Amino acid sequence: MASIPFTLAALATSAVPELIVFGVRAHEEDDSYVSAVVIGEEEELLVRIPRTQAAEVQQSGELLGLAALTAGPRSELPFAVPLALGMTRAGDTRAVVTTHLPGEVFDAEDLEEDAILIEPIAQAIAAIHALPHSVAQQGGLPVRSSQDLRLLATRLIDRAESTRLVPETVLRRWERIVESAEIWDFAPTMVHGSLDSEQLRIENDEITGVVGWSELSIGDPASDLAWLLSAGQDVLDSVLARYAKHRSAGSISTLRTRAALYHELEVARWLLHGTESHDQTVIDDAVGMLDRMVGGSGPLGAAFASSTNREPLSESEVSALLDETPEVTDLLSDTAAYEALDEDRMFGVDTDFIEPLPKKDAGDEDAGDEDAAGDAESPHAADTPTETAADEQLTEPIDPDELPEPKRR
């Protein structure tokens, strides 16, 4: 185990040949990856190796997202975004090196409606949603209409219903929402796609960085707001009031309703994960959460009921809500990262266009080298002018015995 960070540091120098390593430390933020932080001459870099095929697909999506965020779009964001620097082979998969964003991670459930972070959160989300659609269109990212998203929600509900484990009251509530044309009459925007407190980096009560861009796409802005319901309906409404000051949000009421629906459908995805993996512990956990949603009881059901019964906030109501918010001088405590229900987010990036890293046969040395070089260049071609020959990018495959076994969720 002690040798893992040093092994990753060696891989980083292969992926980024000009890198001079001054130090390395373990990085255990995500069990889906073996990772380490490498201290370079000017900045810290993050090197990660996916442990599973699912993590490899997620990493591929993130590379596409980071490549789409070229210098122009990045300049429009009020926070830093990682920059992909290179990759190299690591056994049957690859090690990817990006810039490392410093900062603390907070627990979403610690948020309060008058917290200092409410305004930075609203500003960050609004800035992502204001990015031009050309970011996705030119970057080969998913482009979905409101009806596409409505259909995805309907299919997820149908799959959950087929388990016969969703309470009838909850199921009917979901169906009423997807059947309401008014709720799905909205203009899609650029979305982060998997936003929650784990993806935000905080310093001095400001959001200084956002990570986890594997699901960047054109989609429903409500999907980037759903995680706030972990802290309660009042927190979501407080963010929405400030969000509406930064950009035209259309109907706040329907935006709130879809956010509440997405929040509840995360439990449906958790249930499906349990049934498809035959994990009875996960199934029991999901069923327990669904039972607490019956009749609008419990935090998820209450958020949904509150959201669907409210009238849209007028401009004067938004201003009044902001005027009533007291100034807060105490600081939020730093806590461990919020653990999401499932890595496979609800409206995740399409993976049809992502090809898994091909295994290299002994007889295809030359062809494999060319492929590896192409993969290494593509995620950062727009931002990194230096090109490196394929044979300089590769290193000896890492011994699988050196990698720790993945932890079970």
Domain ranges of the chain: 4-100+358-391, 108-324
User: What is the per-residue pLDDT for 312?
Assistant: 47
Rounded distance between C-alpha atoms, residue 250 and residue 189, angstroms: 12
Indicate the class that CATH gives domain 4-100+358-391.
alpha beta
* Dihedral (Cα; 42, 43, 44, 50), 10-degree rounding: -100
Taking CA atoms, 63 is separated from 10, 56, 103, 349, in Å, by 21, 11, 21, 12
CB atoms near residue 262 (< 10 Å): 23
User: What is the per-residue pLDDT for 173?
Assistant: 93
Taking CA atoms, 79 is separated from 123, 143, 199, 328, 358, in Å, by 10, 24, 12, 22, 35
User: What is the per-residue pLDDT for 280?
Assistant: 97
User: What is the per-residue pLDDT for 28?
Assistant: 86
User: What is the per-residue pLDDT for 247?
Assistant: 87
Fold match flag (4-100+358-391 vs 108-324): no
What does the pLDDT profile of the chain (409 residues) look like in tens digits? 457 899 999 999 999 999 999 999 999 888 899 999 999 988 999 999 999 999 999 999 999 999 999 999 999 999 999 999 999 999 999 999 999 999 999 999 999 999 999 999 999 999 999 999 999 999 999 999 999 999 999 999 999 999 999 999 999 999 999 999 999 999 999 999 999 999 999 999 999 999 999 999 999 999 999 999 999 999 999 999 999 999 876 688 899 999 999 999 999 999 999 999 999 999 999 999 999 988 765 434 454 455 445 444 455 444 544 444 444 333 333 333 333 333 333 333 444 444 444 544 544 444 444 444 444 344 444 444 344 443 444 445 556 565 555 544 4
User: What is the per-residue pLDDT for 7?
Assistant: 93
| Length of the chain in terms of residues written | 409
pTM: 0.74
User: What is the per-residue pLDDT for 181?
Assistant: 94
- Do 233 and 263 touch, CB atoms closer than 8 A? no
Q: How far is CA 101 from the centre of its chain?
A: 15
Indicate the class that CATH gives domain 108-324.
alpha beta
103: left (phi over 0), alpha (psi -120 to 50) or beta: left
